[in-house]
Amino acid sequence: MSSAERLTPHEISSMLAGRIRDLVDRLAPGGTVIGGEWVVRNPTRHDRNPGSFRIHLVGPEKGMWFEFASREGGDALGLVAYVLYGGDVGPAIKWAKSWLGISDATPPEQVRAAMPPPVDDAAAEAEAARRREWKRKLAVRLYLDAQERLAGTPAAEYLAGRGIDLAQLGRQPRALRFHPGLHNEESQAAWPALVAAINDGEGQHIATHRIWLARIDGRWKKAPLQQPKMALGAFTGGFISLWRGASGKPLREAPEGDAVAIAEGIETALSVAIACPELRVLCAVASFNMGRLALPATIRRVILAADNDLDNAMVEAKLAAAVAHYQSEGRDVHVAMPPVPGADWNDILQGVEG
Q: Which domain holds residue 160?
A: 146-233
Q: State the Cα–Cα distance between residues 275 and 53, nearest whole angstrom.
A: 35
Q: State the Cα–Cα distance between residues 276 and 245, nearest whole angstrom.
A: 8
274 and 222 fall within a common domain = no
Q: Which of 186, 204, 233 is the last residue of a domain?
A: 233
Domain count, the chain: 3
Predicted model pTM: 0.73
φ, ψ for residue 24, nearest 5 deg:
-70, -35
Strands (E), 200-255: 205-216, 219-222, 229-232, 240-244
92 and 46 fall within a common domain = yes
Does 252 reside within a domain? yes
Q: What is the pLDDT along the chain (354 residues), one digit of tens a residue?
A: 443 357 788 888 888 998 999 999 999 998 888 778 888 888 887 655 556 788 988 877 889 998 876 667 889 999 999 999 888 888 999 999 999 988 776 676 666 665 555 555 666 667 667 777 888 899 999 999 999 999 999 999 999 999 999 999 888 999 999 999 999 888 889 999 999 999 998 899 999 999 999 999 999 999 999 889 999 888 989 999 999 999 999 999 999 999 999 999 999 999 999 999 999 999 999 888 999 999 999 999 999 999 887 666 777 888 888 999 999 999 999 999 998 888 899 998 988 765
The pLDDT assigned to 248 comes to 92
240 and 229 fall within a common domain = no
Q: State the Cα–Cα distance between residues 44 and 84, nearest whole angstrom.
A: 9
* The CA-based dihedral angle spanning residues 78, 201, 261, 153, taken in that order and rounded to the nearest 10 degrees: -100
List the CATH number of the domain containing 311: 3.40.1360
Count Cβ atoms below 10 Å from residue 44 Cβ, excluding itself: 15
Element (H, E) at 22: helix 20-27
212 and 263 fall within a common domain = no
The pLDDT assigned to 158 comes to 97
The pLDDT assigned to 3 comes to 37
92 and 177 fall within a common domain = no
247 and 227 fall within a common domain = no
Handedness of CA 244, 207, 285, 180 (dihedral sign): positive
Pairing of strands 299-305, 332-336: parallel
Q: Which of 101, 119, 137 is the last residue of a domain?
A: 119
Does 193 reside within a domain? yes
Does 136 reside within a domain? no
Does 124 reside within a domain? no
258 and 331 fall within a common domain = yes
84 and 179 fall within a common domain = no
221 and 325 fall within a common domain = no
Question: Do residues 272 and 168 lie in contact, with contact meaning Cβ atoms separated by under 8 Å?
Answer: no
Q: In what order do the strands lie in the sheet with 240-244?
A: 240-244, 280-283, 258-263, 299-305, 332-336
Does 97 reside within a domain? yes
The pLDDT assigned to 79 comes to 94
Count Cβ atoms below 10 Å from residue 291 Cβ, excluding itself: 20
Q: Which of 186, 202, 233 is the last residue of a domain?
A: 233
List the CATH number of the domain containing 84: 3.90.580.10
71 and 113 fall within a common domain = yes
80 and 32 fall within a common domain = yes
Count Cβ atoms below 10 Å from residue 148 Cβ, excluding itself: 10
Does 139 reside within a domain? no
The 10 Å CB-count burial string (b at 16+, else e) for 225-259 is bebbbbbbbbbbbbbbbbbbbeeeeebeebeeebb
226 and 339 fall within a common domain = no
Q: Considering only CA atoms, which of 250, 156, 164, 162 is closest in space to residue 202?
A: 250
Displacement of CA 335 from its chain's centroid (Å)? 18
Does 141 reside within a domain? no
3-state SS of 140-186 is HHHHHHCECCCCCCHHHHHHHHCCCCHHHHCCCCCCEEEEEEEEECC
The pLDDT assigned to 2 comes to 40
- N-terminal to C-terminal alpha carbon distance within the chain: 46
Please state whether 198 falls in left (phi above 0), alpha (psi between -120 and 50) or beta.
beta
CA distances from 215 to 176, 193, 231 (A): 20, 12, 22
Does 134 reside within a domain? no
